[in-house]
Homo-oligomer: A and B are copies of this chain.
């Protein structure tokens, strides 16, 4: 009988999660029922949003319950199917969780097409982070050619795609990232026009230098002081996309943007987004982004680590800045 290694939520953390936040369990896998598939998970997506799912308060989706498998996006291979929609050998993307095997009725899963694109990209640029970037910058940020776009966490899974899409659409794009290596990557490999190294310079000074005419769209993944700095440089009618606030997720109480009255002075808008709202349009975005990846216009970087045992070590990289691109655990 197959054994399944499972990472389950053991306790709700206050502040930064510890190793004791999760347990590692080994369980038998039973028979699957009619309509179900058994998946061998190949890749697990690690996302900053995971931190929010650990909190008891209901957010845009219910929290993970104590004792439940840790929620995560996955790429898995069908190794047994009693579901007429899926065959053995199909590769599916969905919410398999942090475990080696998942049993599912197939809801929320879709087949990953066979292409030249590596599998991990389907939970990165062609998965949630990519969809977030695509709809966030195009539909919420509503960019126009010639706009100056500022993106925080610019070397990350979402930010790197946001900036590249903005470049494709004819914007001037400036990133914010931590450290010289990331900034070089953002400029030289991703093609941003500039990058501010928040670890080694004042973000305000950096924005002043790189965005001399101010900011039309700020795509915020981090919150905190960087959001406050961006507010100072808004142009008339600017849009701020609130996509995340990684600087605040592990804080006991979040800190708001003190400079928010810049919204008034500049008739600007701050708007929150959750990618799930755009689910119906994912296929369109996937089609367009697939073309961009295949023709080399859009670069997709995955940072892949191995072994379910290392979940916690890899999870920490989401928050300590020690990664580049989309963070993925290979099982």
Interface residues of A (CB under 8 A from B): 59-60, 223, 228, 242-245, 248, 253-274, 277
List B contacts of A267 (CB < 8 A). Answer: 271-274, 277
List B contacts of A272 (CB < 8 A). Answer: 261-269
Given contacts A270-B270, A271-B269, contact A254 B258 (CB under 8 A): yes
The 4 A-B residue pairs with the shortest CB-CB distance in the complex, in nearest-first order: A256-B256, A264-B272, A263-B272, A256-B258
Query: Within the complex, which residue of B244, B255, B261 is in contact with A242, where a contact is CB–CB below 8 Å?
Result: B261
List B contacts of A223 (CB < 8 A). Answer: 261
List B contacts of A244 (CB < 8 A). Answer: 264
Given contacts A242-B264, A267-B277, A277-B267, contact A256 B254 (CB under 8 A): no
23 pairs, A vs B, C-beta closer than 8 Å: A59-B265, A60-B265, A243-B264, A245-B261, A254-B258, A254-B261, A255-B258, A256-B258, A256-B259, A260-B260, A260-B270, A262-B272, A264-B272, A264-B273, A264-B274, A265-B272, A265-B274, A267-B273, A267-B274, A267-B277, A268-B272, A269-B271, A270-B271
In the complex, the count of this chain's copies comes to: 2
List B contacts of A269 (CB < 8 A). Answer: 269-272
Residue among A253, A262, A266, A267 facing the most chain B CB atoms (10 A cut-off): A267
List B contacts of A264 (CB < 8 A). Answer: 60, 242-245, 272-274
Measured CA separation A245–B257 after assembly (Å): 14
Is there an interface contact between B265 and A268, defined as CB atoms closer than 8 Å? no
Which residue on chain B has the smallest CB distance to residue A267?
B272
Measured CA separation A269–B271 after assembly (Å): 4
List B contacts of A268 (CB < 8 A). Answer: 271-272
Given contacts A268-B271, A272-B268, contact A256 B260 (CB under 8 A): yes
Which residue on chain B has the smallest CB distance to residue A241?
B264
Which residue on chain B has the smallest CB distance to residue A248?
B261
Q: How far is the CB of A93 from chain B (nearest CB, A)?
A: 24
Is there an interface contact between B254 and A242, defined as CB atoms closer than 8 Å? no
Residue among A59, A245, A248, A271 facing the most chain B CB atoms (10 A cut-off): A271
List B contacts of A270 (CB < 8 A). Answer: 260, 263, 269-271
Measured CA separation A272–B269 after assembly (Å): 7
Q: How far is the CB of A211 from chain B (nearest CB, A)?
A: 18
Measured CA separation A44–B254 after assembly (Å): 43
Is there an interface contact between A257 and B255, defined as CB atoms closer than 8 Å? no
Query: Within the complex, which residue of B242, B253, B258 is in contact with A253, where a contact is CB–CB below 8 Å?
Result: B258
Is there an interface contact between B274 and A263, defined as CB atoms closer than 8 Å? no
Which residue on chain B has the smallest CB distance to residue A240?
B270
Is there an interface contact between A242 and B259, defined as CB atoms closer than 8 Å? no
Given contacts A264-B272, A265-B272, A270-B270, contact A254 B243 (CB under 8 A): no
Q: How far is the CB of A272 from chain B (nearest CB, A)?
A: 3
Measured CA separation A262–B57 after assembly (Å): 12
Which residue on chain B has the smallest CB distance to residue A61?
B265
